[in-house]
Amino acid sequence: MKKYIFKIIIAVFPFFTAYSQSDTVCNPSFEDSLNSWGLINNGSSVSTLSISSDSLYSGNLGLIYDVNYVNPPSSSCALTSCMFSLQQGNYYKISFWAKSDSSESLLVVLQPTSAPFTNYASKTFVTSTNWQQYILYTSDSNAVSNLKIKVKPQTIGTYYFDDFMLESISSLPTNSIICNSDFENGLADWTQSPNGGVINVQSEGVVVQNGVTSAKITTSNTTSGQPIFSSCKSDIEKNIKYKINFWMKSDTGGESVVATSSLSSPPYTNYGQLSLNLTNTWSEYSFIIESDTTIYSNVRLAKFKFLDDGVYYLDNISIEEVPPQPIFCDGDFETDLSNWTQTINNGAIASISITPSQAQNGLQSAMVLLNTPGTTNSSVQLSSCTTDGVKDSSYTVSFWIKGSAANLNFNAITSLSDSPYTAISSNSFQTTSDWTEFCYDIMFDSTIIDGIRLLKLQFLNSGTYYIDNVTIQDNTYNCSTPIALINDISKDVKIWPNPARENFNIRSVNVKMTGLFVYDIYGKLVLFSKINKHNYILDVSSMDKGTYFFQLNLESGEIKKRKIVIL
């Protein structure tokens, strides 16, 4: 084979500079000799570049990079590309093929050509004796120009490069991990910050929840600042929910900790948070995180802020992707009301709080003390967190309420969380003086995925309401309250008998019915009737026994829903 070898030995290499301001890499495969590529030898570092037909991955030529002496950071060397630009809001993939004579460490950065040398991408790779493609990603919310790829060997050796590429991609991939999550490799990949207080973190081999090592965190001077212990930087993908699980305890119990997932740099945006009071025994905790924008390489998925002096133990942290599903945040009110939205307006006089004096389950419940109702039904309202609705599925919302007196009126609504706050289900109930379970069914159509408030409770009469044990169940759930205690579809629409063997009688008092839908328990439409009348008989004699979901469309545009049972 005919060989082509070009070799350069220089101390500082400013000559091979091409001012390309497109978003491409010039001469990416070294087919035009070393045109557009440069070499930097800082301090006493010694390295040389050459191209040869013996060092290619593809094409005719490849690059040989001999590093004879390097001592980063003061005596560092670098292979540099031509200048190029990043377009505003675009995502980019930087890739290249490389190998080395032995396993070596290689730092690749994307930096401006002049100070400040901000890293728009940075990753350390370990090369091997086999050709392998290496990849890193970048993006910026602003257009950035005059950037170069800089390849910085961290150890001496001979490196081979070919086929550099910069390409625009539709989105950034994610690598949502918590490095060294069980501390079996000591405290590697974790950082500690005094944040005005004092923190000391050590590996612990005796007090462990799982494995052989945990993290022991000792904090003091927390009145001056709240120390922080954080996992490595990682990714969080747009509109994906993740669940962070961890085990924790303290020496004495009672200390307060805030667990978050947040940006690792200002403004330290939180994507999920949990406030907890620890006990002196190992307990598992979890919280949900989600980002509404694509974040890459700058999120600390597990970040712990310590509010009190003490000795803490942390172990066995994990992350899992949560599929779309409706959930209640703190539906038992054992922590606080931070995940529930409180509304008191329109002239209402009321207070909403947590009370340990009443509980249907656990240690405490929510309490609404309503002195003066407002001018609208939503004047005093308690709303659950925003969650998902899985398309083409059906569920039962269950909650327990008691009143300071019987017959206090309240509404229970499932609706969109944003304007126009469309109701998916609207129900009216009355309290009893004892704890009573109330249930109603919800059905999500093919267009509903997220932005749902599973439960909005609207309190309509003066008195005290206690709420506890709010849950979401599958559509086969049997509510402990007899069906007769739950109001019918509405005061204006009646359906009877229910259950029935052959026929259901349906009557709409004020407006005509326009459409009737029946779904099975899997959300599949099994019957549809187009109607234009106030009264209708639904014949189910040919349908299988079981539970179904009934939807009635009214001429007014309202939609009424109810569970029916065929005997």
**Of 142, 11, 22, 137, nearest in space to 81 by CA:** 22
**Average pLDDT over every residue of 332-337:** 88
pLDDT for 69? 94
pLDDT for 141? 65
pLDDT for 526? 82
Give the model's confidence band at 16: pLDDT under 50 very low, under 70 low, under 90 confident, else very high: very low
User: Domains of the chain by range and CATH?
Assistant: 5-169 (2.60.120.260), 191-322 (2.60.120.260), 341-485 (2.60.120.260), 493-566 (2.60.40.3080)
Does a cis peptide bond (omega within 30 degrees of 0) precede residue 153?
Answer: no
**Of 372, 341, 369, nearest in space to 355 by CA:** 369
pLDDT for 412? 93
356-413: pLDDT as tens digits: 999 998 899 999 999 999 999 999 999 999 888 887 788 889 999 999 999 899 999 9
Beta bridge partners of 319: 244
- Say whether pLDDT at 525 is over 80: no
Q: What type of residue is 565?
A: V
d(CA 98, CA 132): 6
- Say whether pLDDT at 284 is over 80: yes
Range of lowest pLDDT (5-19, 253-267, 520-534): 5-19
> Taking the CA of residue 158 as centre, how many other CA atoms within 13 Å lie in the half-sphere pointing to its CB?
8
Give the model's confidence band at 9: pLDDT under 50 very low, under 70 low, under 90 confident, else very high: very low
d(CA 386, CA 509): 34
Structure tokens at 378: 């939503």
d(CA 504, CA 105): 75
Three-class SS of residue 379?
A: helix
More confident residue, 380 or 546: 380
Strands (E), 101-230: 104-112, 121-127, 132-139, 144-153, 157-169, 191-193, 198-204, 214-220, 228-230
Strand 525-533's sheet: what is its strand order?
525-533, 513-519, 546-554, 559-566
**Of 214, 209, 212, 217, nearest in space to 192 by CA:** 217
pLDDT for 1? 38
More confident residue, 24 or 467: 467
- Say whether pLDDT at 522 is over 70: no
Structure tokens at 152: 């910085």
Three-class SS of residue 377?
A: helix
pLDDT for 4? 41
Rg of the Cα atoms in the chain:
32
Three-class SS of residue 378?
A: helix
User: Hey, what's the torsion of the CAs at 388, 391, 393, 396, to 10 degrees?
Assistant: 30
Sign of CA dihedral 323, 328, 334, 340: positive
Percent of the chain topping pLDDT 70: 92
- Say whether pLDDT at 10 is over 60: no
Q: Which residue has the tokens 């947040």?
A: 262
- Say whether pLDDT at 551 is over 60: yes
**Average pLDDT over every residue of 6-29:** 53
pLDDT for 65? 96
Structure tokens at 263: 């940006």
Q: Which residues contact 373 (CB under 8 A, 6 or more apart)?
A: 348, 379, 380, 459, 460, 461, 462
Structure tokens at 326: 């409706």
d(CA 219, CA 309): 5
Cα distance between the two ends of the chain: 85
Beta bridge partners of 137: 93
Task: Output b/e per residue, 463-487; b: 16+ Cβ within 10 A.
Answer: bbbbbbbbbbeebebebebeeeebe
Three-class SS of residue 147?
A: strand
Q: What type of residue is 502?
A: E
More confident residue, 550 or 229: 229
**Of 145, 96, 85, nearest in space to 123 by CA:** 96
Query: Do 289 and 241 form a contact (C-beta atoms < 8 A)?
Result: yes
62-76: pLDDT as tens digits: 999 999 999 888 889
pLDDT for 145? 86
**Of 440, 439, 327, nearest in space to 389 by CA:** 327
**Of 385, 226, 204, nearest in space to 303 by CA:** 226
CA distances from 391 to 123, 445, 523 (A): 40, 5, 9
179-195: pLDDT as tens digits: 999 999 899 889 999 99
Q: Which residue has the tokens 């939503």?
A: 378
Q: Which residues contact 477 (CB under 8 A, 6 or more apart)?
A: 396, 398, 439
d(CA 198, CA 224): 9
133-152: pLDDT as tens digits: 999 888 776 788 889 999 99
d(CA 426, CA 183): 49
pLDDT for 143? 81
Task: Print the SS3 string covering 355-385.
Answer: ECCCCCCCCCEEEEEEEECCCCHHHEEEECC
**Average pLDDT over every residue of 84-96:** 86
103-124: pLDDT as tens digits: 999 999 998 888 888 888 888 8
More confident residue, 13 or 274: 274
d(CA 102, CA 418): 58
Give the model's confidence band at 481: pLDDT under 50 very low, under 70 low, under 90 confident, else very high: low
Average pLDDT over the chain, rounded to whole?
86
pLDDT for 421? 85
